[in-house]
Amino acid sequence: MLDIYVDGDACPVKKEVIRVAERHNLTAYIVSNSGLRPVASPNIHMILVDAGADVADDWIAERVGEGDIAVTADILLAARCLKSKASVMSPTGKPFTDDNIGNAVAGRTLSAHLRELGGASYNPAFSKQDRSRFLEALENTIQAIKRG
């Protein structure tokens, strides 16, 4: 069906998803448990869910399916979306696939453990190159799904 689902909390590429979805006449769901600005487009749905752990993730995971695209930095949500046969990418354009999701989950678990031990956590700033890479990956994924 080719809908786009965005894990909207702290997602740096919401505007880009909206532009691309409008250009391709696709439906996009931007899901968040905090305030979202309305968008004047019939194809863009801003979904506000209740506060709570994984509420937005659950909303997306229950609806995303084969032929859809999920955009998330949440590795566990990415794994859930892959089980539904969706294409999944991070906001930096990095694809999550059946081949790399296991390593991503393991790395997430290790990082969480190191933080619990008092280790430093480093998340690089979102760059123009990340935005550009995301737009290219999103466009390529849309084209690949349309080709079937």
Check pLDDT > 70 for residue 137.
Answer: yes
Average pLDDT over residues 42-51: 94
Share the mean pLDDT of the chain: 88
**For position 119, what pLDDT does the model report?**
64
**Tokens encoding 19:** 């532009």
Domain range for 95 is 3-147
C-alpha distance from residue 1 to each of 50, 70, 96, 113, 141 (Å): 27, 13, 20, 39, 13
* Per-residue confidence band for 125, with pLDDT thresholds at 50, 70 and 90: confident
pLDDT band at 39 (very low <50, low <70, confident <90, very high): confident
What is the structure's pLDDT at 107? 61
pTM recorded for the entire structure = 0.87
List the one residue out of 3, 19, 20 whose CA is nearest residue 31.
3
pLDDT tens by residue, 50-95: 988 889 999 999 999 999 999 998 989 999 999 999 999 999 999 9
DSSP for 80-142 reads: HHHHTT-EEE-TTSPEE-TTTHHHHHHHHHHHHHHHHTT-----PPP-HHHHHHHHHHHHHHH
CATH code of the domain covering residue 140: 3.40.50
Closest-CA residue to 137 (of 81, 90, 77): 90
β-sheet with 87-89: strand ranges across: 44-48, 27-32, 3-7, 69-71, 87-89, 95-96
How confident is the model over 107-113, as a mean pLDDT?
Answer: 56
Instruction: Report pLDDT for 3.
Output: 98
Give the model's confidence band at 142: pLDDT under 50 very low, under 70 low, under 90 confident, else very high.
very high
Domains in the chain, number: 1
